[in-house]
Amino acid sequence: MNNAERTRRQLMIRFIQEFFSGDLKENIDRIPVEMRPRTEEPVRCCVYKDRAMLKYRLMALMGFGMEEETDESRRLAEYLTDAQAGNNHTEPVLSVCSVGCHGCVDSHVQVSNSCVGCFARPCVGACPKQAIAVVNQRSTIDRTKCINCGKCMAVCPYHAIIRNPLPCEDACPVGAIGKGEDGRVRIDFDRCIYCGKCFRACPFSAIMERSQLVGILQAMQEGKEVIAMVAPSITDQFPGTIEQLFAALKLAGFSDIMEVALGAEMTTAHEAEEFFERMARGDILMTSSCCPAWVEAAKRHIPDIVPFVSSTPSPMAYAGQITAKAHPNAVKVFIGPCIAKRREAQKDPNVDFVMTFEELGALLAAKEIDVISLEAQPLEHPAASYARNFAKSCGVSQAILQEIGEEKPDDTRPKIDEKFINGLDRKSVNLLKLYAKGKLPGNFVEVMACTGGCVGGPCSLAR
């Protein structure tokens, strides 16, 4: 855990504790001062900037972004009143706190002091744009010609050429983030796929997600029926068994638990049938559709592949349907590691809120619930093991193969030639463009935006 994650989680725990004690409105404006007293060495340039960042992070916990602040003197207690009244804005789901942005230099390749001006000069020969020359026995790069391809880095025997990154921009697979005229980061939400890679990559914690914690905690406090819809990727996030974790969720304030893996079983069955239907009608390809960041990337950046994206709903969507039928008046909360699920849930009438694994961990810590010490909560309808593996890379393909092979064996049906995109980046986006044109082999492509699958999501506790 790095310092940014530690601070974020400490703040969540404090926020939840104060909420349930009934003291949050009275104390919330003191939290930044108490967490960053003048007697301690500041993390940033000064204690006042540390406090400002905590203030804006508290705003994000209540669903507000710094972009909405029109009066800097407005108290956090007033934002809390708005959040409790449902007047917070959770769209877009990401927010950039310009106060915290370091204004890093643009990503570029540069020559370090390790350059010895060697006789071979492989960097000069490797550059496709003739951007490198040797001046005074040292390689220099002409910025007007350099395309940051990194070929000079690869051939330098002294590792003297290095890449100076802009972490958030380098992490974005679709070019949705970059610097504005003031040198601070901006997100282009017309291009953003909400994968959360920038959120995880920013070392200054300046990119924040707009939380829905207030709505969830308020529903619990008011005694409403609150159902936890738990993503399959939760399996390795907490100590103990899944049955012990479900017991912890009951203690934390959830009325009942729905395994989203049960929805994954339905996704598997429908996606297998859809694959056969598509192949029968002559389609060359079908891709998975359970990852909302991938579906958003297809729509916004790879229009040629959209006709090949499965129309089967995600496991969350199916789990929401099951939960809404069984508990029509309940507050339904999806719990997972994904920021893009917040975006998907906004369009799903069967999901009221999304809680991340980080927020769930903070809830358990705030209530001092030790998962591993609890008696297991029996599962009324346990999900199949293959459905719980949905959250791991290759898990979707394996589930479909198992569905076809064990449940519906039929040698007359077309065979699946599965391929995998294990994490979206600029290279894999270009590969998917080739798949759309039929230039790469395979008739089923499983796409996960996060490396390793959902288990590698931006709001995971354990990666």
Strands 353-356 and 331-336: parallel
Residue 43: predicted pLDDT: 87
Give the separation between CA 100 and CA 199, rounded to whole angstroms.
Answer: 13
In this model, does residue 308 exceed pLDDT 90? Answer: yes
Q: Please, what's the b/e burial string for 120-154 (b: 16 or more CB within 10 A of its CB; e: otherwise)?
A: eebbeebbeeebbeeeeeebebeeeebeeeebbbe
Q: What is the mean pLDDT of residues 65-85?
A: 93
Asked if the model's pLDDT at residue 300 lies above 80, the reply is yes
Residue 72 exposed, middle or buried by CB count within 10 Å (0-12, 13-18, 19+): exposed
pTM for the model: 0.91
Residue percentage of the chain with pLDDT more than 70: 98
What would the 3-class secondary structure string for 196-250 be?
Answer: CHHHHHCCCCCEEECCCHHHHHHHHHCCCCEEEEECHHHHHCCCCCHHHHHHHHH
- Token duo for residue 114: 């390790």
Do residues 65 and 95 lie in contact, with contact meaning Cβ atoms separated by under 8 Å? yes
Query: Residue 230 pLDDT more than 70?
Result: yes
pLDDT band for position 407 (cuts 50, 70, 90): low
Amino acid at 44: R
C-beta atoms surrounding 13 within 10 Å: 17
